[in-house]
Amino acid sequence: MKRFITLAFAAIVLFSQYADGQSKKGAASPQVKNVILMIGDGMGVSQMYAGLTANKGSLNIERCTHTGFSKTYSADNYVTDSGAGGTAIACGVKTNNGAIGVDAEGKPVKSMLEYAAQNGLSTGIVVSCDATHATPASFIAHRANRSMEEDIALDYLETDFTVFIGGGRKRFEERSDKTNLTEKLKAKDYQVTYTLDEAKKVKSGKLMAFVADKHPAAYPERGELLPEGLATALNILKRNDKGFFLMVEGSQIDWACHDNNQKALENEILDFDRTIKVAFDFAAKNPGTLVVITADHETGGVALNKGNMAKGELTAAFTTKGHTGVMVPIFAFGAGAEKFTGIQENTDFLRKILELYGINK
């Protein structure tokens, strides 16, 4: 009997080692090669539905196959800011409002862009704001506060990104320390351009494309920065056989809602939705591509009190000039989209995306 128990125990140990080996092997085989993470800053369900109504009942985002919700509270506040919200998404930790790429104790935490770069993938950022603004900064920089924008610009030289398209030339070229960071980027083999048209000519290598001195204008004044910037980035990033990580932000949905400006909100959502079409079309043609769309928080406490779908008319009401604490939607399409159903923490994006890539944390 004793001998039987010993044998049975040995069998269990052997089996559990086998099962363990299997699960490790499973984690290492990637389901996803390319990830396009799209953040509508301040985009709650009402913002998205305002755009859908203004567009007389449809949006490209409806092509998503899976939906979920993300809980946005930060480490120190029920209502997050875009620093803590971006850091939670990018780095997988709840941190204090205002923090960029550091945890609640101030310790730097690696972002999903950095994990991707360190594993040989190409990486990119396309935004309709300054390079040093909170959301893009969360993927690149590690600083105690989002206000340290000149320091955040320095972090672009420390991080191995492939493509940046957005605003922010001044923080790189007209700095209080008199350093010209553009020259330093060129020394690291970046092609530096100052218009979207120049950027569109770049098909390979590394690209730093400034399309504005500070923030790009609101839509429609800024033109097709987001959809065409995304297409430009994809042309470069898709050349890497190992895959890529790309973050795209509709940065100014948030600002329209801070201003309680319904027309600006509609314009920004429709521009973001045209950008989503570019991402979905790429994912449909390139198996192994995941598109995840979410928000860092809701802005404005928007309610849609009256509307007419056929006429594309609505009356939006705003309860605040700031952010709110409500959950925000997640829309997913392509390889691994099923991971993004249900209700999750904003810190779960990092874990899920690394698992899909087969990258160990």
Q: How far is the CB of 322 from Zn ion (least distance, A)?
A: 7
Shortest spacing between CB 251 and Mg ion, in angstroms = 5
Cβ closest to Zn ion, residue 142 vs residue 297 = 297
Closest Cα to residue 294, out of 258, 244, 259, 253?
Answer: 253
Nearest distance from C-beta of residue 299 to Zn ion, angstroms: 5
Beta strand 66-71 pairing with 328-334: antiparallel
Tokens at 111, concatenated? 């972002």
- Residue 135 contact partner, candidates Mg ion, Zn ion, none, CB within 5 to 8 A by sort of partner: Mg ion
List of residues contacting Mg ion (CB under 5 A): 41, 82, 135, 251
> Is 254 or 271 the residue whose CB approaches Zn ion more closely?
254
> 136 vs 334, which CB is nearer to Zn ion?
136
The least distance separating Mg ion from the CB of residue 147, rounded to whole angstroms, comes to 14
Min dist CB 135 to Mg ion, Å, is 3
Which residue lies nearer to Mg ion by CB, 296 or 355? 296
Q: Which does 34 bind (CB under 5 to 8 A by kind): Zn ion, Mg ion, none?
A: none
CB of 185 to Zn ion, least distance (A): 28
Identify which of residues 80 and 111 has a Cβ nearer to Zn ion in the complex.
80
Sign of CA dihedral 27, 70, 309, 224: negative
Q: What is the closest distance, in whole angstroms, from the C-beta atom of residue 296 to Zn ion in the complex?
A: 8
CB 144, CB 174: distance < 8 Å: no
Which of the choices Zn ion, Mg ion, none does residue 103 contact, using the CB cut-off of 5 to 8 A by kind?
Answer: none
* Half-sphere exposure of residue 1: CA atoms within 13 angstroms, side-chain side: 0
**Nearest approach, Cβ of residue 82 and Zn ion (Å):** 6
Give me the residues that bind Zn ion (CB under 5 A), please.
254
Partner whose binding site includes residue 53, from Mg ion, Zn ion, none (CB under 5 to 8 Å by kind): none
Nearer to Mg ion, 86 or 336 (CB): 86
87 binds, among Zn ion, Mg ion, none (CB under 5 to 8 A by kind): none
Report the residue closest to Mg ion, judged by CB.
135
Q: Which is nearer to Zn ion, 94 or 146 (CB)?
A: 146
* Least CB distance to Zn ion at residue 81 (A): 7
Give the residue with the Cβ less far from Zn ion, 81 or 271: 81
Question: Closest CB to Mg ion among 68 and 136?
Answer: 136
Would the CA dihedral through 205, 210, 215, 220 be positive or negative? negative
Q: How far is CA 267 from CA 9, 41, 116, 335, in A?
A: 66, 14, 32, 30
Of all residues in the shown chain, the one whose CB is closest to Zn ion is: 254
